Amino acid sequence: MELEEAIRTRRTHKVFAPAPVDRATLDELFDLARWAPNHKLTNPWRFRVLGPQTLERLKAAADDPIAAAKLDRAPTLVAVSAAQTGDEVLDEEDVCATAAAAFAVLLAAHGRGLAGYWRTPAILREPAGRAAVGIPDGERVLGLLHLGHPRQRPRAPQRAPLEDVVEHLD
């Protein structure tokens, strides 16, 4: 798949086949994510693939049946966080770099025929949720990637016109 086609056709999927994404494919996706731009080559991204026991701990920490049910949508879940140093500028740059790496995972997954979406569940901003997936205090959580094999093809959402989001300055 060509890069421009991948960017234009990647969609948020919320209906997956039950089979998880295999470890070799996940490792390929994470290897590509390592090439995201990051100032000073800090490599701040952290990816944690949730196994069945970790998922159960996270659902229990959610203490909300609706929030817990949303964690069962995809067969493969990846918590994404950025290592933080305490330097305000560097930490902001590292969060942005980690977001780029997370998008690289989603884009590379799409290129392999997989489906995915990025969520920011409230439970991962809570100490109990962070503890459930082993995210230490020195990391900022960016979200949870839901990955799997698609069972449907969502239609393309409308995008803002270019002139609404771009300004050419003198």
Query: For each successive 10 residues of the chain (170 residues), what is the average pLDDT?
Result: 83 90 98 95 97 96 91 96 97 98 96 94 95 97 96 81 93
pLDDT of residue 75: 97
Q: Domain segments of the chain: what residues? A: 15-152
Give pLDDT, residue 36: 97
pTM score, two decimals? Answer: 0.92
Closest by Cα among 20, 46, 24, 42 to 33: 46
Contact 16, 73 (CB under 8 A): yes
Output the DSSP codes for 7-30: HHH--B---B-SPPPPHHHHHHHH
Q: What is the pLDDT of residue 19?
A: 96
Contact 33, 105 (CB under 8 A): yes
> How confident is the model at residue 53, as a pLDDT?
97
Q: Which CATH architecture has domain 15-152?
A: 3-Layer(aba) Sandwich (3.40)
